[in-house]
Amino acid sequence: MAEIKHFTLTNSKGESVVLSNFGASILAINVPDRGGRIDNVVLAYAKDEDYYDDGPFLGKTPGRYSNRIAKGHFTLDGKQYTLSINCGTEHLHGGIKEESYANRVWDAEQKGNSVVMSLFSPDGDAGYPGNLKVQATYTWDDASCLTLDFVATTDAKTVVNLTNHVYFDLRGASNKQGGILNHVLKLNCSRYLPTDDQLIPTGEIAPVAGTPMDFTKGRIVGKDIHDYSFPALKFGKGYDACFAIDDFDGTIKPIAELSEPATGRKMVLSTNKPGVQLYTGNYLEGCPNGPDGYVYKENDGLALECQDFPDAPNHPNFGYKPLEPGETYHHTMKWQFSAE
């Protein structure tokens, strides 16, 4: 295996981000609470080797197509492509073990307050068509904003869906009790994607109004998380659903706000993609331990994965457009931190 490298970016206020070229990962985001106490607000493991083929994809970049593709099949121009099955009966986050970009060592170089990571994915890689060149650039600035820019190009028509699977706990890593159930989440999403019991979208894009999926005015994450009378919560053992972003037009705009009352920390998430997968760490138990031997429990972290819709290549009504030669895939995510 190529060398695993860590990079620390520190802004003028002493706030820092720690990155790894294994899986183009976020290992730490160290920001203050309302009293000025700096702490890491994302989940991490104790050792580099713990990140290989971990179930939660902690802080990593999955690909070639993140989230699910039903039965591992999709069709382009009349040709069917077959991918590995690694989640029940489905293809998840790019496939088994080293097939996923999340389990590869990326080339990486620090340039000022940015780290540029790149990966070459050959034609046929994990069953996907086309030679794909991928670049992920992380930038940390004095305004306490972490930006992740993805770009990708191909020499043959293919599907691409890149995101980052960082898990947040805005209480900070030094607080080991309570998880994220008291966090307050607001989503600019009046619709979500219902799924079957394997979390494959049915094709419907349904209103959240009057359901536990309604975060439009802000909602305590744990309020209805175990309301298993609602299919989406039963199927995911909590929240594990994609929300459709309102007024999507391909520009970068704020789409989510996560806050934690006790510490005053707040994170505003922006993207130029049409969907965001909310996952409340419903299967964190059994994953590698955190720093200091901490044993993770369910709901210890919350992920907000900006992306194209899951299984979109198999749903024409989702409006997904495959990547063509001569085009550039471009996805930007921004995490803006503050405390009040």
Catalytic residue among 15, 99, 260, 305: 305
Picking from 218, 223, 41, 61, the residue whose alpha carbon sits closest to that of residue 135 is 61
Rounded to whole angstroms, how far apart are CA atoms 133 and 153? 5
Catalytic residue among 90, 91, 93, 165: 165
Cis peptide before 171 (omega within 30 of 0): no
Half-sphere exposure of 235 (CA within 13 A, CB side): 15
Q: Is 260 a catalytic residue?
A: no
| H/E stretch holding 146 | strand 145-154
Q: Is 305 a catalytic residue?
A: yes
- 209 alpha carbon, distance to own chain's centre: 25
CB-based burial, 79-89: b 16+ in 10 Å, e otherwise: eebebbebbee
Half-sphere exposure of 220 (CA within 13 A, CB side): 8
Helix (H, G, I), strand (E, B) or coil at 244: strand
Residues with a known catalytic role: 165, 305
